[in-house]
Amino acid sequence: MEQQMINITMLGEFAIRVGEHEVSENTGRTKQVWNLVEYLLANRFKVISQERLIEILWPGDSSDNPANALKNLVYRLRTILKSGVPGCDYEFVLYHRGAYSWNNDLPCTVDTEEMESLWKQAKAAQDEDEQQELYQRAIACYKGNFLPKSAYEEWVIPVAEYYRRIYLECINGAVPLMMVRGRYDEIVTICEHAMTFDPFDEKLYEFVIRAMAASGKQSKALAHYEYVCDLFYKELGVKPSENIRSLYQEIIQNIKSVETDLHTIKDDLREGADVEGAFCCEYEIFKNLYRLEARAAARSGQTVFVALLTVSTPQDGVPQVRTLTQVMNLLQEVSLRSLRKGDVVSRFSGTQFVLMLPTMTFENGEVVLKRILENFYRRYKGPSVKIHTKLQPLDPVEMQL
């Protein structure tokens, strides 16, 4: 009788399928059984000594008879595989001279091997259309991380990282080719799927923002940019890289089509009538506002002060991320409510806010900063933190006549 193809999945789940029959971790068998078959399949072109298998399956165990325990485990594995595929008479696991191996005489497909093969073919391809197709096929193989239910097994960690790196390399290879061909929606889909496995890979966010902007969805691109900045501040306490932040200016330059009706432009520029407190903006906007104020100050002689608020632990260290998120959210809210409509607030780093305070004396500026701190500490109930303040006048730009 012709042998049926055995389809093995190791990305996103572990399962062995033959026709309509399936054997997987979800059947509730002992974890060690799955550890054994997963290791054999991950190394299916190798013959594994029983000593190595014992080291993998029972690390640090000083059992009296580990070889016998391994034999019993192999017997159970063979029984499970045969019972899981009715009518199957395959010998899945072979034993020879004190070593074990997967039976490679059986017709078999493994998703990790398929992805790796497609990746290598894509890198070697000379035709860009073929290269893009191969990359996308490799990307489609990655349904999730390698053996997620065994993610903390010592041997799994480097292998999982290897396949994750291949996956990201395929995305990095495919996206530029897809951008040239205008496949923007597909880029967004691919990258958003990848973010579920690697939520802090900045390149993925850059690809999404560029694809949205290129497809004419500038408003969505800006919203995604703001989401990314917020995510990195709140979760990691850092600001995104210069590559991400430079995208803001690129989007702004292309965001408006030609508009001849001045009333329409004014309507677009106008804020809501019920706006209160200071103006909060991204740091890229703050820089432009600062430069504008510096030019104006040189002409008018008006004094503008810049203040810096820095959050730290009482020992001048960086607070834990959860504490820092709570503190920065409250400090932003308090600052906006404590300042005037003409003042500007922006997040400078994971632990800092920068403020621009026009038409104010140094003494008044110190009073304002004191009020911010008092309002903050009145409401803050978390772990002890310190907020350092600095206040300096803006440096006017002398204009050449």
Domain residues for 375? 278-393
Inside any domain, residue 257:
no
Tell me, yes or no, whether 106 and 133 share the same domain. no
Quote the pLDDT of residue 255: 59
Tell me, yes or no, whether 332 and 361 share the same domain. yes
Tell me, yes or no, whether 179 and 285 share the same domain. no
- How many angstroms separate the CA atoms of 230 and 239, rounded? 8
pLDDT surpassing 90 at residue 77:
no
Inside any domain, residue 323:
yes
CATH number of the domain residue 233 falls in: 1.25.40.10
Tell me, yes or no, whether 132 and 241 share the same domain. yes
Quote the pLDDT of residue 204: 93
Residues 383, 319 contacting (CB under 8 angstroms): yes
Instruction: Indicate the burial class of 401 (C-beta count within 10 angstroms; 0-12, 13-18, 19 or more).
Output: exposed
The pLDDT tens digits for 325-369 are: 889 989 999 999 999 888 899 988 888 999 998 877 888 889 999
Share of the chain above pLDDT 70, in %: 87
Q: Where are the alpha helices (DSSP H) in 242-320?
A: 242-254, 262-269, 283-300
Assigned token pair, 158? 């480097």
Inside any domain, residue 267:
no
Quote the pLDDT of residue 259: 43
Strand ranges inside 10-67, DSSP E: 15-18, 21-24, 48-49
Inside any domain, residue 332:
yes
Tell me, yes or no, whether 151 and 221 share the same domain. yes
Tokens 């004190």 — which residue?
98
Assigned token pair, 391? 């206040």
Inside any domain, residue 261:
no
Tell me, yes or no, whether 97 and 155 share the same domain. no
Assigned token pair, 331? 């400090």
pLDDT surpassing 60 at residue 399:
no
Quote the number of domains for the chain. 3
DSSP string, 289-301: HHHHHHHHHHHH-
Tokens 């009020």 — which residue?
371
Helix (H) or strand (E) holding 306: strand 304-312
The residue out of 198, 232, 251 marking a domain boundary is 251
Quote the pLDDT of residue 181: 92
CATH number of the domain residue 285 falls in: 3.30.70.270
Residues 115, 141 contacting (CB under 8 angstroms): yes
Mean pLDDT, the chain, integer: 84
- What single DSSP character describes residue 11? B
- How many angstroms separate the CA atoms of 213 and 224, rounded? 10
Tell me, yes or no, whether 244 and 143 share the same domain. yes
Inside any domain, residue 39:
yes
Inside any domain, residue 71:
yes
Tell me, yes or no, whether 224 and 138 share the same domain. yes
- How many angstroms separate the CA atoms of 142 and 332, rounded? 40
Q: Would you place residue 17 in the very low, low, confident or very high pLDDT band (cuts 50, 70, 90)? A: confident
Inside any domain, residue 116:
no
Tell me, yes or no, whether 236 and 295 share the same domain. no
Quote the pLDDT of residue 86: 60
- What single DSSP character describes residue 58? S
The pLDDT tens digits for 244-267 are: 777 877 777 665 544 444 544 455
Tell me, yes or no, whether 58 and 106 share the same domain. yes
Quote the pLDDT of residue 109: 93
Helix, strand or coil, per DSSP, at residue 343: coil
pLDDT surpassing 60 at residue 1:
no
Q: Would you place residue 62 in the very low, low, confident or very high pLDDT band (cuts 50, 70, 90)? A: low
Assigned token pair, 323? 């504490």
- How many angstroms separate the CA atoms of 136 and 117, rounded? 13
Tell me, yes or no, whether 237 and 334 share the same domain. no
Residues contacting 44, CB < 8 A, separation 6+ = 101, 102, 104, 108, 110
CATH number of the domain residue 10 falls in: 1.10.10.10
Tell me, yes or no, whether 62 and 175 share the same domain. no
- Name the least confident of 155-169, 197-211, 221-235, 240-254: 240-254
- Name the least confident of 137-146, 152-161, 247-256: 247-256
Most confident among 14-18, 25-29, 117-121, 235-239 (mean pLDDT): 117-121
Assigned token pair, 238? 């850092």
DSSP string, 155-207: THHHHHHHHHHHHHHHHHHHHHHHHHTT-HHHHHHHHHHHHTT-TT-HHHHHH
Average pLDDT over residues 213-239: 80
Closest CA to 200 of 172, 171, 227, 236: 236
Q: Which amino acid is at 285?
A: I
Q: Which amino acid is at 216?
A: G
Q: Would you place residue 288 in the very low, low, confident or very high pLDDT band (cuts 50, 70, 90)? A: confident
The pLDDT tens digits for 83-136 are: 766 656 678 889 888 899 998 888 899 999 999 999 999 999 999 999 999 999
C-alpha dihedral sign at 279, 283, 284, 286: positive
